[in-house]
Structure 1
Amino acid sequence: MQIATTRDVLRNAVAGLRQAGDGRIALVPTMGALHEGHLTLVRRARELADHVVASIFVNPKQFGPNEDLDAYPRQLAEDARLLEGEGVALLWAPTVAEMYPSGFATNVSVAGVSDRLCGAARPGHFDGVATVVLKLFNQVQPDIALFGEKDYQQLAVIRSMARDCDLALPEARNIIGVPTVREADGLAMSSRNRYLSPEQRAAAAALPQAMRRTIAAIEGGGDVAGALAALEAEVIAAGFSSVDYADLADAASLAPLTALGTGPARVLVAARIGGTRLIDNMAVGA
């Protein structure tokens, strides 16, 4: 596996991949601290493309002033070993100065789909996501890109950005969501799970359990507002300190729903336990 840390090396490496076979390239963007969820993305990418490029970049533009940028786990050597073991051809691991050189002044903002949920709780977060992902797409120019559905709103923002900017590599239809990978007790895999104490980790399993009960209630014709309120009460009783949101939304637009309609929907939740903010989502009526 080749590791590129500058744009010139990256361009040459990608050009070399294009010349090998028919050169179909998949990109798996990450912030490192890899777990089985990330590796599942890589495996799916290998099924869909000739070559897999992974990126590791802890993006400062998507962290707020009181968030965990400095504490976010960084383990490049271990992550590189894992990616090489999964057959990744090229790792793009730029520095902050390489990604955002002196004088960088551009911000990408995707209105509508980014306004609610995590967008409301973390102002500016999705601007940072859209900006860095557009740069990654332009740098690598992949045929397809893969993202985990755990960050469902992020996936919706990136697809919207790709459509609005008429991206060709990748086209919006080639931005692929991969189902959330979960621990044995149902907790969505996340790099932030490592922040949890053993007691918090045990309590965190209440989140997906409460979500499944809420979905069953909604699919059974129950009152949506009441089911979401019961979800919030259940996770607070289990040891979470607060719930940023618990919402039923249209699966494509993320517009809020007060009742289950004929199209696909998602229940999306963000909740805090100790100093850790966990997010999750699940399909409803699928």
Structure 2
Amino acid sequence: DVSSPARARTQPGSRLAKPPRPRVGIRYVRPNPRPRHRSERGALDRPSFPTNRRRKVTNPPDPPPMGKKGFVDKHNASGAEKPQKRVDIIEKLGGYDNLVSQGAEGRVFAVKFCGRDTIVKQRFKKTYRHPTLDAKLTRSRLGMEARSMMRARKLGVVTPTLYYVDQQQSAIYMEKVPGKSLKELIREDSMSEKDMEDIGAQVGKAVAKMHDGGLIHGDLTTSNILVRDDDERTVVIIDFGLASNSIIAEDKGVDLYVLERAITVTHSSQALFEHVMTAYRRASGQWSSSFNKFAEVRMRGRKRSMIG
């Protein structure tokens, strides 16, 4: 019976007939299949973009350099450039023959730099430290010293003129101040009462300007205070190797205590320190807190010296 639904599904032209099921298991074949082996591929089959599968073509190494007579240079057989030797500027200027002084942190030389009398301060290498750490710390202290010197100059303190900073040799080139240190003047005992008052006033004003500006010298001794050989007897502050930035009254008090211990080595120089403190009080806007901490530090120092 053609009219039955079951038979109508089997008829090809019937609207109830189901579409034919796709054949499973037959592989689709491209019209022009790509060759399997890369050696059989043509130029058109290769990709036009670079892939990671390609082998990198490297240039052959250069032949080793030859010496004067055609032999291989054993010292530079790899063909690399020889490292250039660093130029020692201090040696070129003859500084090692003109040693001025030597301390625990470095040496001081006197040279001629650009036609000017120059002082070169070179820091030592610490052999007990790792070379990388030592180079980093030395570079940091060298930069801090140069910046502190320039900052003190901006605050109105007379300092030597900075010429050059050599990071490789760990050296600072600065102006050579003609004159004597305050330590030499105190030892000679050649200052009059007027000279003591004038020099003490200059020292007190200079220290007050540094402290009010947040700069701590760290080593205020009579060896680091120079007096020029001029009519005005100008006071010059040097050696900012231990300088730091601080606004704490304790640090200012320690600075004043170090200065007191350095000046009052003799009975005649006690008047000089009184002139220093008088000028400091007049020039500083924070003298009260500094003086209070200075008194505390002085008491601690006396107790320590008594106990031992």
TM range (shorter): under 0.3
Higher relative contact order (CA 8 A, sep 6+): 1
Tell me the TM-score normalised to structure 1 length: 0.26
Larger radius of gyration: 2
